[in-house]
Structure 1
Amino acid sequence: MIGSMQRQIARGLGQVRLAFIGVVARGSSKLLQLTGVSDEVLDEVELIQQVGFSSYIPEGSRLVVIPLQGKTSRSIVVATDGAPILINVSEGETCIYDQFGHSVWLKKDGTHITGDLFVDGKVQATGDVIDKKSSMQEMRGTYNSHKHGNSPTPDKPM
């Protein structure tokens, strides 16, 4: 009797698909085509991402696939890895990056941004704004104290 029950349980469990690793065959930010075990192809598998983050997952990336209710046809992707560009962070760091080499890297010594920065709105700083030559405060000091020959310094300091 116990042997019969064990066989029935094993048969039932054999019909339940467990989580597996797949590879992206066609990238997207919402629905992916992927290959799974033994080169099986799964079309339009939903990619679940964190609120506030949206990534286009490139071809060749590895992913974790969870078949909901054990059914391959109801699979979702919950994690991805192995894209062509990968940034290794140190303990305590976080990096948001894309496949073009742009990144926002939160490090112990501050935030590092790689690539051009476009801002739609005001930029305010509580510290100095510095370029390759000097800070804006140093430029103001130079301008405010400059004169041409015997002329006075600027009547409206910066």
Structure 2
Amino acid sequence: MKLIRQQIGQMIDNAGNAIRQVFRGKINLTKSADKIQKVQVSALADETLQDVELMQQFGFTSHPPSGTEALIIPIGGKTSHSVVVATENGQFRVKALKTGEVAIYDQSGSSIVLKQGKVIDINCTTLNITAPTINIKGNITQKGSITNNGDVTSSGVSLVGHTHTGDSGGTTSPPN
């Protein structure tokens, strides 16, 4: 009976060893045009995996640069049907976050950091916002100049359409 248990144990071990476990690799290139991105990954023992699906959380997507570390799960233990479930690139990652802070970043150094104390830091060269209406509650502090291609109204007074009472009685014409 002991011999049978040993043989069964050995068979289970052999079967388990034949199934590929989760492993690490490095992304070489990314194809981002399809519904699900696919990557080429260099893995252990100089193997290169082609068209590995890159699974990402809904609402978040990235195009990881070459050299990004990847955590790869072989579906059903088969390397030929693997998926990348996590990526990390310490070269570009925002470092020294405090507990609970969150960052979105790219390889050029742009970042959005949600910080403790309800503070959001945005670091970029140009910030483009496309919205028909922007509502801000609170004060705005501005450093630098503002260029505007439309009217500015403050407390109901139009910068373009306002007039002043003239020194000699009447009103001035609106600004040009």
TM-score range, shorter chain: 0.7 to 0.9
Residue 80 of structure 1 corresponds to: 87
Residue 45 of structure 2 corresponds to: 38
Which runs of no fewer than 5 residues in structure 2 stay unpaired?
Answer: 146-153
Alpha-carbon RMSD: 2.9
> In structure 2, do the counterparts of structure 1 residues 2 and 77 end up closer, same or farther at CA, with 3 Å as the change threshold?
same
Count how many residue pairs are aligned between Structure 1 and Structure 2.
Answer: 149
Bigger Cα Rg: 2
> In structure 2, do the counterparts of structure 1 residues 133 and 12 end up closer, same or farther at CA, with 3 Å as the change threshold?
closer
The answer as to 2:76 corresponding to 1:65 is no
Deviation at 1:117, TM superposition (A): 1.4
What amino acid does structure 2 have at the position aligned with 1:114?
N
The answer as to 2:121 corresponding to 1:112 is yes
The answer as to 2:14 corresponding to 1:11 is yes
Deviation at 1:6, TM superposition (A): 1.6
Deviation at 1:124, TM superposition (A): 1.4
Structure 2 residue matching 1:128: 3-state secondary structure: coil
Deviation at 1:9, TM superposition (A): 0.8
Structure 2 residue matching 1:7: 3-state secondary structure: helix
The answer as to 2:131 corresponding to 1:124 is no
What amino acid does structure 1 have at the position aligned with 2:127?
L
What amino acid does structure 2 have at the position aligned with 1:45?
V
Q: What's the TM-score, normalizing by structure 1?
A: 0.81
> Does the CA-based 8 Å contact 1:47-1:76 persist in structure 2?
yes
Structure 2 Cα separation of the partners of residues 151 and 23 of structure 1: 79
Structure 1 Cα separation of the partners of residues 168 and 135 of structure 2: 34
Deviation at 1:93, TM superposition (A): 0.6
Deviation at 1:63, TM superposition (A): 0.8
> Does the CA-based 8 Å contact 1:58-1:83 persist in structure 2?
no
> Does the CA-based 8 Å contact 2:27-2:65 persist in structure 1?
yes
> Does the CA-based 8 Å contact 2:26-2:68 persist in structure 1?
yes
Between the two proteins, what is the percent identity of the paired residues?
Answer: 33
Structure 2 Cα separation of the partners of residues 45 and 150 of structure 1: 77
Cα displacement string for residues 121-149 of structure 1 (whole angstroms, at most 9, x for unaligned residues): 12211012221169xxxxx69xx9xx8x9
> In structure 2, do the counterparts of structure 1 residues 67 and 155 end up closer, same or farther at CA, with 3 Å as the change threshold?
same
> Does the CA-based 8 Å contact 1:63-1:79 persist in structure 2?
yes
